Structure 1
């Protein structure tokens, strides 16, 4: 069977699958599940085109990694065949542990287990199936391989993950501000002392990349409507678990039922739990919410109705923390109008905060390589004053409450 297939991608055109191992991993049911996990969670409620999946994104990352390997080899960086394959495997599987609606439900389905931890569990399981052919990729993914630039390509501040998702999410949302020139960025990459650097000529592409990241976060990823929709989704799961714990029967698919009935933390993530998790996707959550819309429980039915029919809570963003009396006023109003308990009212009235840091000065810096061989952090190398400002976290506070009758 010919495994060197060509895929047609709306962003990059034709993408070639580099070898039979990558083909077999793409064909595996664990990876095929990513076709049913949206890349951008609830953002489609704001940007109707944002229905692309984690599957799209992972394939795009492999394509960019192929370009990066070719560029670095052309510049004399020694990358063995085994290292090349491991880079492709690690970037292909870097998001395989995402649950339904990507980040929206990361800590709702399971207890404080990140998608990176679940990705690692999937990789280790696949490694058993694939005769230990993923061992080097796992080492790179964990940052334990001695050549640090390879980890930076997978999970640094200028990695192939970001290079793909900014361009892809910009395309599918129609938000032009995020459209980075990933091809030029990759062409300007080099390696010095096993650390990733960007040649001086690429400095403006890096500036654009950091600014694009900031704009995409405020305009898309942290858009207030997407934010409130994600909060409602988290509360749907929380309420469903509460009801089940008190003996109420809820209809849901078997995989979802399992995670509603059990509190699964990282130590409980055995092979059985992983197998059940691999059958869970966006469709389980949507079909459950469609059923729960008509449930007798006031909180669950209203939360589901809000998400399914996009009749969301009102959200106000502020630069300062929300005053307690503001919150209390809305809670009291809800209790009085519907005769519900304070705990039930708090499902519909709540505050929170969100932050955005486009560039982390202390974490895996983006370094610029000047002609004489001098290496400088992008913030120092750039004459763009606002890059220093973009390395500081910006925090915004929000309050959510019903805008009309429930």
Structure 2
């Protein structure tokens, strides 16, 4: 592919100037599959709570690539051998790690495709791009899948202290204005090292890691699992489910061609071929928003009300409890709704529902964060730390929610 490489520097509000290191990275950024990420919100419906949270997956991917450049530089300086091919593969893998996200990031996975994760779609995109770029992405794909023999490289892409988390916590904290999530990602990266082919943090960086985990926990409760963003995302999932249900009954819904395709067809893992992937690549947040603006005046009571709730930010009431919601409460709310609007119990489930949310800042059992002592010994973070609350951070905390209409629809 011939592309004139003119742009070599991007100005990022978090890190300042970001250098695009080579023509392969530049051409991947220029590709239509990657440019689509400009139209996918990084934080889904969170902008309904934090008005500044309009940053995109494009911002995040570029930021991750920048941090990976820094990580490679630090590790090489400390004597870890990383050749040019491996360096480029790491940059490509982290750049494309989120390329498979659908509209509003996670809503699509739970509504109009069946059991197809964004990671799987990212993999498919990378394989198609590999053919287009003369197999230049082969090593990046191997690292992304966790199949490369150098384990620490896979950990830089996906682990409990990877470049993905190092960017999104800092970036999401900046755009939401939630200062508690602001981590020192540069300091964390400077403390990275490799021992026995595993990614480790030097002992002097332990406090930065503790701050990172506390920031992650606070960001989950305060931002990612905020009750308003939670109910907004649940409503969006239900909008798409209802639209799919009506389309199956041959009810005409105005929507873009790519969205129509996913509403009409049952898409499973086995159906995700090149043609489906091309259609998916034309789908973004704008398709969903413009469809909801159309559907808010539709004849269908459920679709109309769900869309109006999101468009006008007049959402369902949501209550979060420490104990599971009692069935009687759920039944009572449903009965009120079915009696008031002559709808079925199944239809009432679109407006009255329960669920649970869980937050675990650190998982000790699953590839924990290793601390490297000055004498060369390695210890898990929880044992190495003098912070008692790190044990608490490694226990999952589950809360339960119920959503129901505030008043008459």
- Residue 151 (structure 1) aligned with residue 154 (structure 2): yes
Query: How far is the alpha carbon of 1:341 from its aligned partner?
Result: 1.3
2:305 & 2:206 partners in 1: Cα distance? 50
Identify the match of residue 283 of structure 2 among 257, 280, 285: 280
Q: 1:398 aligned to 398, 401, 405, which one? A: 401
Check conservation: 2:5, 2:26, Cα contact below 8 A. Answer: no
Do residues 131 (structure 1) and 134 (structure 2) align? yes
Q: Does residue 32 of structure 2 align to residue 29 of structure 1? A: yes
Aligned-residue offset at 1:246: 1.1
Aligned with 2:369 (options 366, 388, 396): 366
Structure 1 distance, partners of 2:367, 2:144, is 15
Q: Normalising to structure 1: TM-score of the pair?
A: 0.99
- State yes or no: 1:320 paired with 2:323: yes
1:153-178 Cα shifts (integer Å, max 9, x gaps):
00111000000000000000000000
The CA deviation at 1:344 is: 1.2
- Contact residue 69 and residue 79 of structure 1 kept, 8 A: yes
**Range with bigger deviation, 3-12 or 80-89:** 3-12
Residue number in structure 2 paired with 1:90: 93
Deviation of 1:134 (Å): 0.1
Moved over 4 A (4+): none
Q: Note if 1:243 corresponds to 2:246.
A: yes
**In structure 1, C-alpha distance between the alignment counterparts of 2:107 and 2:253, rounded to whole Å:** 22
Q: Secondary structure at the match of 1:106?
A: helix
1:338 is displaced (CA, Å) by 1.2
What do residues 203-223 of structure 1 show as CA deviations (whole Å, max 9, x unaligned)?
000000000000000000000
Shift of 1:4: 5.9
Aligned to 2:53: 50
Aligned to 2:302: 299
1:174 aligns with 2:159: no
Answer yes or no: is 1:73 the counterpart of 2:76.
yes
Partners of 1:219 and 1:254 in 2: CA distance:
37
Which runs of 5 or more structure 2 residues have no equivalent in the other structure? none
* Alignment match, 1:263: 266
* Among 336, 346, 349, the residue aligned to 1:346: 349
Q: Alignment RMSD, CA only? A: 0.7
Say if 1:4 and 1:16, in contact at 8 Å, map to a contact too.
no
CA contact (8 A) 2:254 2:294 kept: yes
Using the TM superposition, name which of 353-362 and 129-138 deviates more.
Answer: 353-362
**Secondary structure in structure 1 of the residue aligned to 2:80:** coil
Deviations, residues 323-354 of structure 1 (Å, cap 9, x unaligned): 01101111011111111111111110000001
Q: CA–CA distance in 2 between the matches of 1:196 and 1:310?
A: 44
Match of 1:387 among 383, 387, 390: 390
Q: What CA distance in whole angstroms lies between the structure 1 residues aligned with 2:81 and 2:7?
A: 24
CA shift, 1:199, in A, is: 0.3
Q: Which runs of 5+ in 1 are unaligned?
A: none
CA distance in 1, matches of 2:280, 2:90: 25
How many residues are aligned here? 406
- String of CA shifts for 1:242-289, please: whole Å, max 9, x gaps: 111112111100000000000111100010000000000000000000
Equivalent position of 1:252 in the other structure: 255
> Contact 2:112/2:241 (CA < 8 Å) preserved in 1?
no
Answer whether contact 2:202 2:371 (CA < 8 A) is retained.
Answer: yes
Find the partner of 1:357 among 360, 365, 368: 360
Distance in 2 (CA, whole Å) between partners of 1:252 and 1:6 is 37
Whether 1:192 aligns to 2:195 is: yes
For the 8 Å contact 1:107–1:114, the answer to whether it is kept is no
8 Å Cα contact 1:365/1:377 also seen in 2: yes
CA shift, 1:109, in A, is 2.7
